[in-house]
Structure 1
Amino acid sequence: MPTVRILDSLAQVPAAAWDALHDGSNPFVAHAFLEGLERHGCLRPDWGWRPHHLTLWEDARLVAAAPGYLKDNSHGEFVFDHAWADAYARHGRRYYPKWLGAVPYSPVTGPRLLAGDDAARHALLEAIVAEAGALGLSSAHVNFHPQDEDAAFVSDWLPRLDVQYHWENRGGWRDFDGFLAAMDHKHRKNIRQERAKVARAGVGFRRLHGDEASPADLDAIHGFYLQTFREYGNAPALTRDFIAHLAREMPRKLLIILAFRGEEPIAGALCLRGTDTLYGRYWGATASVPGLHFETCYYQGIEYCLEQGLARFEPGAQGEHKLARGFLPAFVRSRHWIADPVFRAAIGDWCGEEAQSVRRYARALQAHSPFREPL
């Protein structure tokens, strides 16, 4: 039987051993990304994030792992369980701390049970439940796992469903004009008008990978990130050092999109690139230009995917406005183990009703697709 080890830092695992557990297609589970968050001050106990990674070992060989955290709140997760925490509180029970298997601040589907087969995934999930029980936790959660990991979860892990908006090159488009040609007249015209407004405002764009970005470019994108968080009154988690770390350690996985008016950067979007998918993460701007957000965050990313031959663009969570710009509804998943059987039954009923509502919502969204033919 494999030996279970709990790690409070990914620095305790060689990067090569960790990265041998996944195929490298998703940058968010890479050792460089997750360990970089820890090393460069993006995860702090006072923000509710305490690394608590579950690993399985055969002698000195790492055979399975789940990046995980003890959470004292539900911030930065994007799978909302505040109502569950409130129900616990009303019954005089403690919901926090809980264990979370996820990538911090990243509502991105990707592998969460890093293992070679379902048997190892089952063993990993058993270790997670055992650890949650040993610590007396209310629950354990695995957020944004891919569909092909569903088979590993037993019935005690309650499923939840939600919808995001993803662009996929389902038409085999070679360029942006080909993409627009698949849309109906109204949506095609609206997108062209939005792009024209940005161009008439004298705004140009540069798309830079990490090894193409200067320190000034990194300063700019981090400044835009801080600007957005200031506007919404939230505490920014990603540090300038972490952005530099990504540019240095994952240079071709990091994509920075900068908008310029003259030589002055006025907006930017930070993205990560996988094998076949671009992931849009953060954006910010210091100027108000009609259409600037859509161009920076969506159209530049679509152009990049078409140029680079990427099949998919996931621009982040939520936002029905994405539908009119070619991002169609896609299901995202999470699983939840609840220790108390009474709460588990009640939450299970709630999750079932939620899933039905989400499926109805997705069907309604499909009826408003901007494309002339179903894709």
Structure 2
Amino acid sequence: MDGSTIEISTHISLSSVDAADWNACACPEAEAGRAMDPFTTYRFLKALEDSGSVGAGTGWDPHYLTAHQDGQMIACAPLYGKSHSQGEYMFDHNFAQAFERSGGRYYPKLQIAVPFTPATGRRFLTRPGHEVNGMSALVQGAVQIASDNELSSVHATFCTEAEALAGAEMGLQHRTSQQYHWDNDAYANWDGFLDVLASRKRKMLRKERATAQGFGGDIIQLTGDQIEPHHWDAMWEFYQDTGARKWGQPYLTRAFFEIAHETLRDDILLVFAMQDGVPIAGALNVIGRDTLYGRYWGCTQNHPCLHFEICYYQAIDYAIAHGMKRVEAGAQGEHKLARGYLPVTTHSLHWFGDAGFRQAVGDYLEAERKAVGEEIEILTGYGPFKKVNVEEQE
């Protein structure tokens, strides 16, 4: 690349950023089909903003970062000022407490992330051909903004492993965690997946599906134009109930679901348990090019194993039927392990302005990475799959 100047800008609204320019960096592959990562598309981030799910009063203040060179946007990032650590799923409360005990002010901080979304994807969105200089410009820009405003830190959560390694080379601190994903090994159907499981686990999954599907109704999958406004009414009710129990209050507003009906339906898979024509449980999934992302679940009636069926087994069915590579089932939940979702490493990058605190965090993260790696190795061994070179006992 030439040595022309790169100009960094921040924007408090995506309305001041051209949608085509943003998507040329976030999802250039979408010109020939689906976006790899639906969460960093202009339409998804704009839905969060326009619905009031982020912005004033939420603790997620948009400061979208863009980089221009020779009049062309070469990179961008979903950057937010945070006044708390909620909705991130890469928890840093221990950092905040330690920083403030030492006399510092941890909040506000800067967060490069998709709000409320623990799904791995690119966070430093670069136009093809500008991967190196684009990411470097965004990192330098975010750090400079934090320094100029005397902010404690910058965090990029659920970035790709490649970004994590590149960021570490730039002086950022690399953190790891883990969550559970299901990988599609070219299974022809559900039974093909069951065939690779140990006998006891195979029987368990069959029993759970039979129990769930005997709840007294039907299970349906809806996407695109199949989704009607009353389906969003039901999903909002489910989401409110789960959100109130998990987080105290839901992160997304009702308006997000209304906007999703207009702009995101093709990116959404709803799975409903229907009883007498009325949804009594449901899950919202987001569709990427090769990954199905499980996001929200809720119910108005409790039935044995229905949660496993709606959230995990139906997602596997959809992924197999559509030739998708994996299902990401969201954060946490060791109960996913027995159902074929194995632990994988997730990544984040961090910068702290205080040199002493940065050193202390570095020591902690080194030990944490080792512990995460060991935990993943142990948990993988408890997976439901047949053991190599061990004859299965029926």
TM range (shorter): over 0.9
Pairwise CA distance, 1:155: 5.1
Asked whether the 8 Å contact 1:210–1:256 carries over to 2, the reply is: no
The equivalent position to 1:57 in structure 2, one of 60, 68, 83, is 68
Worse-matched range after superposition: 107-116 or 248-257: 248-257
Pairwise CA distance, 1:130: 0.8
Are 1:132 and 2:146 counterparts? yes
Pairwise CA distance, 1:233: 5.7
Worse-matched range after superposition: 161-170 or 113-122: 113-122
Which consecutive segments of 4 or more residues in structure 1 shift more than 4 A?
A: none
Asked whether the 8 Å contact 2:273–2:279 carries over to 1, the reply is: yes
- Any unmatched runs of 5+ in structure 2? 28-34, 389-394
The equivalent position to 1:289 in structure 2, one of 303, 327, 349, is 303
- 1:136-175 residue pairs with structure 2 within 5 A? 136-153=150-167, 154=169, 156-170=171-185, 172-175=186-189
- 1:1-375 residue pairs with structure 2 within 5 A? 1-23=5-27, 24-115=35-126, 116-153=130-167, 154=169, 156-170=171-185, 172-232=186-246, 234-373=248-387
Measure, in 1, the Cα distance between the counterparts of 2:171 and 2:144. Answer: 13
Pairwise CA distance, 1:373: 4.0
How many pairs align? 373
Measure, in 2, the Cα distance between the counterparts of 1:114 and 1:357. Answer: 30
The one-letter amino acid paired with 2:343 is P
Asked whether the 8 Å contact 1:210–1:248 carries over to 2, the reply is: no
Worse-matched range after superposition: 48-57 or 241-250: 241-250
The one-letter amino acid paired with 1:280 is G
User: Counterpart of 2:32?
Assistant: none
Measure, in 1, the Cα distance between the counterparts of 2:222 and 2:254. Answer: 17
Asked whether the 8 Å contact 1:211–1:247 carries over to 2, the reply is: no
User: Cα deviation per residue 1:240-279 (whole Å; 9 max; x = unaligned)?
Assistant: 3212322321322111111112212110001100000000
Asked whether the 8 Å contact 1:267–1:283 carries over to 2, the reply is: yes
The one-letter amino acid paired with 1:90 is R
Measure, in 2, the Cα distance between the counterparts of 1:47 and 1:357. Answer: 34
Asked whether the 8 Å contact 2:157–2:348 carries over to 1, the reply is: yes
| Aligned partner of residue 45 in structure 1, secondary structure | coil
| Aligned partner of residue 73 in structure 2, secondary structure | strand
User: Cα deviation per residue 1:336-363 (whole Å; 9 max; x = unaligned)?
Assistant: 0010110000000000011111011001
Measure, in 1, the Cα distance between the counterparts of 2:125 and 2:243. Answer: 32
Percentage of identical aligned residues: 40
Worse-matched range after superposition: 258-267 or 356-365: 258-267
